[in-house]
Structure 1
Amino acid sequence: MESTVQLPKIVLFGDSLTDWAFNEYNAGFGWVLEEEYKGKAELTDCVCTNRYTSSMLAPNFEKIISRAKNPNAPPTLLFTIFLGANDACLPPWSGHVPLDKYEANLRAFVETILSTKAMTDTKIVLITPPPINIRESLPDSPIGSNSEDLQASLEEEKKARGYRTYMNKKQYAEKVMEIAESYVALTDRVIGLNFWKSLIDTALEQQGRLNAEDAYDENKLPGCGLPGAKEFKKGFFTDGLHFGPLAYKLLSEDLITAVLQKWPELGKYKL
């Protein structure tokens, strides 16, 4: 007779970056976790293809919570929330979610999980949105240009939509870590994963700049698109937004490390 025992759940809640994470070719964190917890837990990909921001996905979140409350539902071990890549895109992008609304949405998600009786043991990981990857500018300066001309050109470049979007995503990433930090004194069930910084640090290390005094100079950050700034190596992004295998590999490693360091009881051999 076939067993009717239900495996505990691991919920990955997010946009297309989470959806693509279940692709074996990408070796995304969804696929990696499925392999890691095979026979121990069931992965749930909670993505809706026509909804891609924290506001648009709120109804999907409510459905997840409703299922978790079912008396016959298995426990939810882990709940990752990976949103903001689309929220942070600047107007007139129709999906833009203002920073204060984005914060309110994430806090509502976290508070709901923490206060749901059926999820009293559920652990939450808030993953920051990543940077974007803008192609490198042409390296040559205009003939006869002086430092004032170059500075004026740089300031003009910083007004471009691409750079402003890049820096806006940095702000949203910082907000995610701020939210996670605010729960430290309240519960041990919430952590933040600063994937924005992890990607930046990896690129800086590859460029030999990680320990440089100007490593985090906002005019030279990897992928920012300003003159002199280097883009991410091939394999990290498939376009300006979506991840390639190298970025997904890094995220998988970061996520598993963060989860097991904070909650060793979630190790596959302890379930």
Structure 2
Amino acid sequence: MFKHPFPTRWQFYEHGLIWIRQTSRSLRRQFNEYLMGAIKSRGPPAPLFITIFLGANDACLSLSGAMVPLEEYEEHIRHYLNTILDDPATQETKVILISPPPVNVPVPVGEPLLDNPDAAIILRSVASQSRGHRTWESKRTYAKKIVEIGKEYEAQTSRVAVLDLWYALTKSVCRIEGTTQDDAFYHLDIDEMLPGSGMPGAKPFDKGYFTDGLHFGDKAYEILGRELLDLALTKWPELKRENFPRRVRLRQLPVPVESTANMAFAQD
């Protein structure tokens, strides 16, 4: 497997194929030409699994709404899934859908005013309309869509699994004394105070989760790696190291590397 809990962009490039700064829309042609083309031209064995980690850019807000509308986003995701599941070259390949992660919106000023009911109402109204919180909500909506799609496909085939990374990251910093993290998430959600939401009274993510509110720090990568491996090895025990038939390396393709991975597959 990988050298670190979750592979960096360079490790992805060593072990598989990577696209960055893409949306589900802009990636579609590259998916068909590069990913599926590489698999077919190389021949068997097919990749053990493919992870699809898209939506962080799609859900970003422009003046007219999300960069890629939710309905179009869903159509692209289903295209990727159906292509992998139906193509003869990837009949043995498993797929993991990973939901878009949250963002870490700064806590608004005026926290002491929360003790004043009238002021608190105004603060919450202003915060809920802020670009930061609306982006946070958009990311959550796209994450829910991925989970919905993933659950649908999980019911149809054993080759698909879904990781709700949005929930895993957010839950990991939900703390209420005397409750579990799941219960803390539930209560904070009802009170509109989930970590990173930017709402009055909400806490930011702990240091180390994000480098700038958007891009992952070490803690977020650690959780992603742990959750991904736990899901894959629980769903498909045959992927455990001792059960690997042999090591396979995909040839490197000339795809530019700039920042965070959106889609990758690996077998090493």
Sort the TM-score into its range (normalised by shorter chain).
0.7 to 0.9
Taking the TM superposition and a 5 Å limit, the aligned residue runs for 1:199-238 are 199-205=169-175, 210=181, 211-212=183-184, 214-217=187-190, 219-238=192-211
Q: In structure 1, what is the Cα distance between the partners aligned to 2:194 and 2:177?
A: 11
Report the 3-state secondary structure (helix = DSSP H, G, I; strand = E; otherwise coil) of the residue aligned with 2:61: coil
Q: What residue is the counterpart of 2:121 in the other structure?
A: 151
Contact 1:53 1:95 in 2 (8 A): no
Q: What residue is the counterpart of 2:131 in the other structure?
A: 161
Q: What residue is the counterpart of 1:29 in the other structure?
A: 6
Give unmatched runs, 5+ long, in structure 2: 245-268
Contact 1:28 1:245 in 2 (8 A): no
With over 3 angstroms needed to count, the CA separation of the structure-2 counterparts of 1:154 and 1:94, relative to structure 1, is closer
Q: What residue is the counterpart of 2:43 in the other structure?
A: 72
Q: In structure 1, what is the Cα distance between the partners aligned to 2:176 and 2:217?
A: 17
% same residue: 38
Q: In structure 2, what is the Cα distance between the partners aligned to 1:102 and 1:137?
A: 31
Q: In structure 2, what is the Cα distance between the partners aligned to 1:28 and 1:264?
A: 18
Taking the TM superposition and a 5 Å limit, the aligned residue runs for 1:61-210 are 61-62=31-32, 63-70=34-41, 72-92=43-63, 96-138=67-109, 140-142=111-113, 146-205=116-175, 210=181
Report the 3-state secondary structure (helix = DSSP H, G, I; strand = E; otherwise coil) of the residue aligned with 2:22: coil
State the number of aligned residues: 239
With over 3 angstroms needed to count, the CA separation of the structure-2 counterparts of 1:170 and 1:66, relative to structure 1, is same
Q: In structure 1, what is the Cα distance between the partners aligned to 2:135 and 2:178?
A: 26
Q: In structure 2, what is the Cα distance between the partners aligned to 1:176 and 1:168?
A: 13
With over 3 angstroms needed to count, the CA separation of the structure-2 counterparts of 1:28 and 1:68, relative to structure 1, is same
With over 3 angstroms needed to count, the CA separation of the structure-2 counterparts of 1:117 and 1:103, relative to structure 1, is same
Report the 3-state secondary structure (helix = DSSP H, G, I; strand = E; otherwise coil) of the residue aligned with 2:142: helix
Q: How far does residue 244 in structure 1 lie from its aligned partner after superposition?
A: 0.3
**What are the superposed Cα offsets for residues 79-111 of structure 1, whole Å, 9 maximum, x if unpaired?**
000011110011238981000000000000000
With over 3 angstroms needed to count, the CA separation of the structure-2 counterparts of 1:140 and 1:71, relative to structure 1, is closer
Report the 3-state secondary structure (helix = DSSP H, G, I; strand = E; otherwise coil) of the residue aligned with 2:140: helix
Q: How far does residue 179 in structure 1 lie from its aligned partner after superposition?
A: 0.3
Q: In structure 2, what is the Cα distance between the partners aligned to 1:95 and 1:259?
A: 31
**What are the superposed Cα offsets for residues 230-270 of structure 1, whole Å, 9 maximum, x if unpaired?**
00011000011100000000100000000000001111110
Give unmatched runs, 5+ long, in structure 1: 1-9, 11-21, 36-41
Q: In structure 2, what is the Cα distance between the partners aligned to 1:66 and 1:31?
A: 24
Report the 3-state secondary structure (helix = DSSP H, G, I; strand = E; otherwise coil) of the residue aligned with 1:81: strand
Q: Which TM-score applies when normalising by structure 1?
A: 0.80
Q: 1:265 corresponds to which letter in structure 2?
A: E
With over 3 angstroms needed to count, the CA separation of the structure-2 counterparts of 1:206 and 1:58, relative to structure 1, is farther
With over 3 angstroms needed to count, the CA separation of the structure-2 counterparts of 1:177 and 1:46, relative to structure 1, is same
Let me know the Cα RMSD of the aligned residues.
Answer: 2.8
Q: Which TM-score applies when normalising by structure 2?
A: 0.81
More off after superposition, 55-64 vs 212-221: 212-221
